[in-house]
Amino acid sequence: MGATSRAGPVDPQGSSPVSVDDIAALTGIRQEALRHLAARVEQEYRQESRAIRGKRRTLSIPSPLLKNVQRLIYRHVLLRLPISKWAFAGAGRGAVSNARVHLGHTHVMIEDIENCFPNVRPQVVRQALLAYGLDSESAGLLMRLCTAFGALPQGAPTSARILDLVLSPIDDRLSLLAEREGLTYSRYVDDITISGDKATDLLRDHVARALRTVGLTLRRDKSRSFREGMAATVTGIVLAGNLRPTPAFLQHLSRELRHAANGTSNLSLDQLRGRVAWVKQLNPSMGRSFGHYLARAARRRANVPKHREPGKRAKRVPRTHD
């Protein structure tokens, strides 16, 4: 694909609209090449079914060429556009930060946006980009490069950031409304959480109305409310005095560590390290404990004899219980 030397920073929130020239300069790709790719973008995808968080989802996987362009757009254009501080899926944030803002609250309400990515229409994306200071031509170009089949494609590296750009004005509006009621609002991708020390259900209709302005709806059958004395689970994290993984996650990790020690785990050592690191991020003490068992499994897999003090038996990986 034709490239040009990448220019210095362009401020998308500056006094003049961001143009196609600016996008070409930021990504280092010539305008003609960007337009040519945008004209045949749907030919650059393949459909693939994957299990994600226990559900089968159809992903639209971009070709290596398109994915590389989208990564450049993400890194050099989209990341320069500010999102709401109450959107927690952005770079440098995540599920842990999202859950932590609700820790210690007695009432928690969790809402799920129904079929979120497939229901974000291209024109909604274009309107969001225009609101961030892109001119009509550049907003249309990015819309074509980052949407497909009338939706935000699950599988494209730009989709989560664009969703945040679309929903950030709503995040700011709902967070102000929650604050006036003495409550806390946050969103992690398509999960909306509102918490406080009083009933939170009164804001559900406000959330639904706000989402309808961008063509989205709540999935009512996934609405959950937790009251005082109940341990809420927010983005896969249990709020119970402190942050901890769900019992199911801990049981699965314990089982895989036992299998890893025997060389029969379905997970690689790198995958196990990632899971243990996540536990440690939530609960350092628990994470260190699992880290010891991971180190032992790694030694056994590498056939390195472990040192054991005389008279001491090897510890077993703890079996977790709910």
The DSSP code sequence of 247-285 is HHHHHHHHHHHHHHHTT--SS-HHHHHHHHHHHHHH-HH
Averages of pLDDT over each 10 residues, the chain, 322 residues: 50 68 94 97 92 74 96 95 93 88 95 96 98 96 98 96 97 97 96 95 94 96 91 92 91 92 87 93 90 87 53 52 48
Q: Exposure of 239 by Cβ count < 10 A (0-12 exposed, 13-18 middle, 19+ buried)?
A: buried
Q: Say which residues have a Cβ less than 8 Å from residue 51's Cβ, sequence separation at least 6.
A: 57
- The pLDDT, as a whole number, for residue 59 is 93
- The pLDDT, as a whole number, for residue 85 is 95
- C-alpha pair distances (Å), 148 with each of 86, 115, 151, 270, 277: 27, 15, 6, 33, 35
d(CA 89, CA 94): 5
Cα 140 versus chain centre, distance: 25
- C-alpha pair distances (Å), 284 with each of 20, 232, 281: 47, 20, 6
Residue located via tokens 């897999």: 301
Mean model confidence pLDDT for the chain: 88
d(CA 47, CA 218): 26
- The pLDDT, as a whole number, for residue 298 is 85
- The pLDDT, as a whole number, for residue 9 is 43
Alpha helices in 132-194 (DSSP H): 136-146, 159-180
Q: What 8-state DSSP symbol labels residue 58?
A: E
d(CA 250, CA 259): 14
How large a percentage of the chain has pLDDT more than 90? 71
- The pLDDT, as a whole number, for residue 100 is 93
- The pLDDT, as a whole number, for residue 128 is 97
pTM for the full predicted model: 0.83
Angle formed at CA 78 by CA 77 and CA 79, multiple of 5 degrees = 95
